[in-house]
Amino acid sequence: MTKKIKKQATLFDAILCIGFLVSVLVTCLVFLKEYEISAHIPLIVGGIFTAFIAMTKLGFTWKELEEGILTTINTTMQAILILLVVGMLIGTWILGGIVPSMIYWGLNILSPGIFLVATTLICAIVSISTGSSWTTAGTIGIALLGIGSALGIPTQIIAGAIISGAYFGDKMSPLSDTTNLAPAMAGSNLFDHIRHMLYTTVPALTISLVLYGIIGIKYAGSAIDTTQISEIQNALMLNYNTLSPLLLLVPVAVIAMVIFKIPAIPGLVVGVILGSIVAIGFQGASIADVFVVAKGGYVSSTGMNFVDELLTRGGLDSMLGTVSLMLCALTTGGILEKTGMLEALAKSILKIAKGTFGLVAATIFTAIGTNLAVADQYLAIVIPGSMYKDAFKKQGLAPKNLSRALEDSATITSPLIPWNTCGAYMSATLGIGCFAFLPFAFFNLLCPLISLFYGATGITMEKISQNDNDDIDLVS
């Protein structure tokens, strides 16, 4: 039997398959958005088309494509396990009153003179504690929008502060799905990734706070209506035995484990155990309650919509949608990578993008372009992550440089695009158009610029270490 000769994938093949994928996604997510079609099935359709081209035109067998799919999925198995543990962590932390305590005490920092600064910080605290920018904007964000409006602050500025804080937490929280997905695609360690992002996020947040402080000076003499804040705090107090600051020692312990480089999964499992102990010891929950919440999530029934929407979440089940989306995206990504289509596209782009700055710029603009074309932040992480992973390695740059660039572009710019899933959600939730709050979402605008600056100067662009090589060998 004659062995079928494979053809090398060309730029045309890559554009054909990726163009088809983008067309299907844009059609379903943008033009047919009233049907609320998720990205899962369009991704599978794109994968089927790509597999058809690979088998009929390039000479690949299904077994070879399947090997490519499984290899690609295998590189994200750690992230998938982390996501499942994170789901359990969120559920037990809410049951134990840890997340409610962070929200309760975070609200106490409100002050009329620094409302925009406080809004950014509160949203950052809530988003870090929950790992969700969407939940933050849809609950506390709405309350803060109402309070700020009463002070006479333009709603588009308040919305910018809300989104800045929410996406700082979404980007930096180990509970966030994008924070786990980016290092999985780049081949870096979760906690190394978080630490490396401090170089862009801390300056971006600091500058943002200064700008919000300058804008907020004119409103310093206004009296703040704390009614909504008091209602939220009272609802929390009535439904938990205690919201003592001592409960904040649990997230402090998890942060300490990050600092001392405890591996992600064991560190998060310890967080689940501590959350369970606190739930039983401080809130009077039973072991059965802990098991139920760890699997299915916490269901809040305070009677106050803001609080119930904020706290009804978590559980292993809550992460299954994200896991399935990752699997669908990685199936298509695995075929594109196995057939060399991503390599062909990357080579064409890298002919223009030279050196460290070229790589960083290519990553950032590809991610933003994917956000614009595909309208999904997950794909804006997956596609450039797959395209440039080897290029960063060949350049001698540590994988965490790539994962940081992915987050500085894909995650951060997604709420600024009206037809992106994140932008559509933020606009609908806050009742303000994306282009209205875009100029005031300082954190989201600054992160890509700071990342480009580091790429141009070489500052913080770390080289591959022996540990990085070991990690790459393990997943290859």
pLDDT score, position 214: 93
pLDDT score, position 357: 95
**CA–CA dist 255, 174 (Å, integer):** 10
Radius of gyration (C-alpha) of the chain in whole angstroms:
23
- Angle value at C-alpha 349, between 471 and 340, nearest 5 degrees: 60
**CA–CA dist 346, 344 (Å, integer):** 5
**CA–CA dist 44, 404 (Å, integer):** 28
pLDDT score, position 3: 58
Whether 465 contacts 188, CB under 8 Å? no
pLDDT score, position 1: 46
Largest CA distance in the chain: 85
Closest-CA residue to 313 (of 425, 177, 420, 437): 177
pLDDT score, position 468: 58
pLDDT score, position 223: 62
Other C-beta atoms lying within 10 Å of the C-beta of residue 52: 11
**CA–CA dist 237, 63 (Å, integer):** 58
Considering the domain boundaries, does residue 303 fall inside one? yes
Considering the domain boundaries, does residue 20 fall inside one? no
Considering the domain boundaries, does residue 331 fall inside one? no
| Residue 131 identity | G
**CA–CA dist 52, 46 (Å, integer):** 10
- Please list, residue by residue across 326-352, b when 16 or more beta carbons sit within 10 angstroms of its beta carbon and e when fewer do: bbbbbbbbbbbbbbbbbbbbbeebbee
pLDDT score, position 460: 95
Considering the domain boundaries, does residue 207 fall inside one? yes
Provide DSSP, 255-295.
HHHHHTT--HHHHHHHHHHHHHHHHHHHH---HHHHHHHHH
Tens digit of pLDDT for each residue in 171-187? Answer: 999 888 899 999 988 99
Considering the domain boundaries, does residue 273 fall inside one? yes
Considering the domain boundaries, does residue 240 fall inside one? yes
| Residue that has been written with the tokens 């794109």 in this structure | 46
Whether 295 contacts 320, CB under 8 Å? no
Q: Show the domain range for 203.
A: 78-319
Cβ contacts of 415-421, under 8 Å, gap ≥ 24: 415/133, 415/163, 415/167, 415/441, 415/444, 416/441, 416/444, 416/445, 417/371, 417/372, 417/375, 419/29, 419/30, 419/375, 420/371, 420/372, 420/375, 420/376, 420/377, 421/29, 421/39, 421/375, 421/376, 421/377
288 Cβ contact list (under 8 Å, min separation 6): none
59 Cβ contact list (under 8 Å, min separation 6): 4, 5, 6, 7
| Residue 400 identity | K
Paired tokens of 306: 């803001």
Number of domains in the chain: 1
104 burial (CB, 10 Å; 0-12 / 13-18 / 19+) is: buried
Point out the residues of the chain with pLDDT beneath 70. Answer: 1-4, 110-112, 150, 221-225, 258-259, 373-375, 466-476
Considering the domain boundaries, does residue 91 fall inside one? yes
| Residue that has been written with the tokens 């993008």 in this structure | 353
pLDDT score, position 241: 96
Considering the domain boundaries, does residue 425 fall inside one? no
Task: Tell me phi and psi for residue 174, to 5 degrees.
Answer: -70, -10
